[in-house]
Every structure is written in C-alpha cells, then in structure tokens.
Structure 1
Amino acid sequence: MTNPNPEDTAPLFNMLRGAAPVLVPFTQDRIVDELWHRPGLSARDRAIATVVTLMARNAQNAYPYYFNKALDSGVTSAEFSELVTHTAFYAGWPNAFAAAGVLKGIFDERGVAVEDLPTVEEARLPTEVAVPDDALRAAYIAAHIAPASEALQHFTNDLLYANLWHRPALEPRDRALATVALLAALGQSAFFPVYLTRALTQGVTRTEVGEMLAHTAFYGGWGYAIQAAEAAKSVFDAQDAGA
C-alpha cells in the first residue's frame, strides 16, 4: 500500500465525478479550502476531531487518507495509537480494531516501531489532572449505573476511569477534546454536557468546540452536529448564568 498524499484529492474527485459530481466543488471549496483553514481550531486539533469521528462511524474508506493527514498535521504516532484505544471505549472495540488494522499498515510504511507506541505499564496521571470532576462522576455512577449493572459500574470505575483517563499518552485536554468529538459523532447528546464541561475545564475553548462541531457536521452528519450544538448551548448558558 502506498501512503495517500493528504494534499492529493485527485483520486477521490475522479471517483466522485462519475457518481456525484456536485460533491466535487462542495468538497473542494467548503471542506478542503475553507473548513480546514478556519482559524478557530488548529490543524492538529481538526485532525483529532476528524479521525475520531471517522472511527466512531467506522468510515473505513476514509481511513488511509485522513490517518496520514493526521500524522502530517502534528498528531504523533503515540498519540494516534492512544486515540484508537480511547475510541474503543466510546465507540466499541470492533470499530477500534478496524482502525488499528489500517493504522498498523501506515505505521509500517512510516517506520513506526512498536517501541514508539504507548504501553499498558505507563505511569498514571494524578486524578486532579486527569479527571478534575471525578467526585461528581463517581457519585453519578453510584446513583445511576450501579443499581442497574454492578458489572458496568466495576468496569467504568476500574478500567475506564481509574486506568484509561489517567493514561499520559494523550494530554488531558486532547483526550477531552477527542471524547467530545466522539460523543457528538455518535449522537450521545445526553452525556455530551458532562464531557463538554470537563473539556472546558481542561482548556478547550468555546471557539474550539464550535469549530469541532462544524467538523462533526461534515464528517458525521448535520443532524448529530445540531444535536450536539444544542447540548453545548445549554452548558454555555449555565456557565454564563453562574458567572
């Protein structure tokens, strides 16, 4: 397999011209030339939002192009590896497995060795850094999850939070941004406010959230983006009212 050049859209556009030619100018003018160049979100953050959205939707045809684009936009191989692991928890193991297979081929072509990737034994970040709202989270799990599923409570507390969210392979801000993008792409508006509040605490700005939602619209669907935007507005309104 040859790595697609993230700047070479000719193969995609040649295919589109024979099936849905109107998508060519829409894609070139509004995604390639406009969306990816808007100043409110860095290219690296746009790449993170895009690849986790694609993984959430299991959009495998887009993986080679956008996985390479993410690596060329400043996402390190270790960070990308951790994004796949993180996606497994929020979008399911099968979606993560599909992404890992493509990413392994890209890593091989780029000379990325397994020694360059995160390990299970990495030291954990302190709770106040990794999950500053952990007391609220634990109370919610105890009140709403434990009565229905002791097993889900166990894995949520012991694996998702005591382990995954404390891993240092992603900065807490990047992990929070990726999670918000994942939830938006999955239409998880009920949990979106909780994770958005955490992301804002971790340093993600409202402007960055707004730009990320535009990526959700293009790569995940307008309906999901609007649903997430409504949930985001409720968080912003509550913060402003309490200011």
Structure 2
Amino acid sequence: MTELTPAQSAVGDVAPQLASLTDDVLFGQVWSRHEALSRRDRSLVTVASLVTSSSFEQLESHLRLAKENGVREDEVVEVITHLAFYAGWPKAMSAIKVAKRVFAEKEEEIHP
C-alpha cells in the first residue's frame, strides 16, 4: 500500500487536485529550487508568512519541516519576536504557543 502524503491525508478525499498541486508543484518543484533559496531559507520565509497571515494550523507542520531543514529553535523564536513588531502582538503570541508545542515534541513522536 502506498503511503499518503500529508496533503493527500489532509484534503485528498475532498480536493484531490489541490493535494496533487501541493505535492507536485509546491513541494515537487518550488521547494526543490535550491539555486536562489535553500530549503532552510524557504522554511524561514514560509514560517514568517504563516505567522503574519495567522495560518497557525499550517504553521505547526511547517515548524516541523523547518527543524528538518536546519532551522534552530532560537531562530524560530527570534523570527516570531521580530514579527511581533510588524504583524502584531496577538499573532506573535499565538505563533509562539504553536512553536512551544512543536519544540516540546520528542523526535519519536515526529518520526515513529
């Protein structure tokens, strides 16, 4: 049996085309372009974008991906703190709570 991608698991049953575009175009093409931005840099940009748009559900999975891409916890905290001045305190406070949950996860919980 083929393992489902995160996008397929999340929305594939109701929006298979959206799941396919997420897998094939976003993560298959955009995230694989390393010439101008590394995966680490893309993670930082994505985390910042999700914080500023209050997309906290997506922020959780992207914080895990950022960790896999080499972003340190102190860097995440600094990005969120910096964004408090540009995106607003409530967004930063909500984002740091999500980050705190992700930081508390043990490695075996992420990759059983």
Where do 1:231-242 residues align within 5 Å?
A: none
1:68 aligns to 2:64 (yes or no): yes
State the Cα deviation string for residues 55-96 of structure 1 (Å, max 9, x = none): 000001102210011111111111111011011111001111
Q: Is the 8 A contact 2:52 2:83 kept in 1?
A: yes
2:20 to 14, 25, 34: 25
Q: Provide TM-score, normalisation by structure 2.
A: 0.84
What is the percentage of aligned positions where both structures have the same residue? 35
Q: Provide TM-score, normalisation by structure 1.
A: 0.40
How far apart, CA to CA, are the structure 1 residues paired with 2:27 and 2:61? 13
Where do 1:12-91 residues align within 5 Å?
A: 12-39=7-34, 40-91=36-87
Superposed structure 1 runs of 4+ greater than 2 Å apart: 8-12
Q: Is the 8 A contact 2:7 2:23 kept in 1?
A: no
Deviation of the 1:110 alpha carbon: 4.5
Task: Give the superposed CA RMSD.
Answer: 1.8
Deviation of the 1:25 alpha carbon: 1.4
Deviation of the 1:109 alpha carbon: 2.0
How far apart, CA to CA, are the structure 1 residues paired with 2:55 and 2:4? 17
Larger Rg: 1
How far apart, CA to CA, are the structure 2 residues paired with 1:10 and 1:42? 22
State the Cα deviation string for residues 167-225 of structure 1 (Å, max 9, x = none): xxxxxxxxxxxxxxxxxxxxxxxxxxxxxxxxxxxxxxxxxxxxxxxxxxxxxxxxxxx
Relative contact order, higher structure (CA 8 A, sep 6+): 1
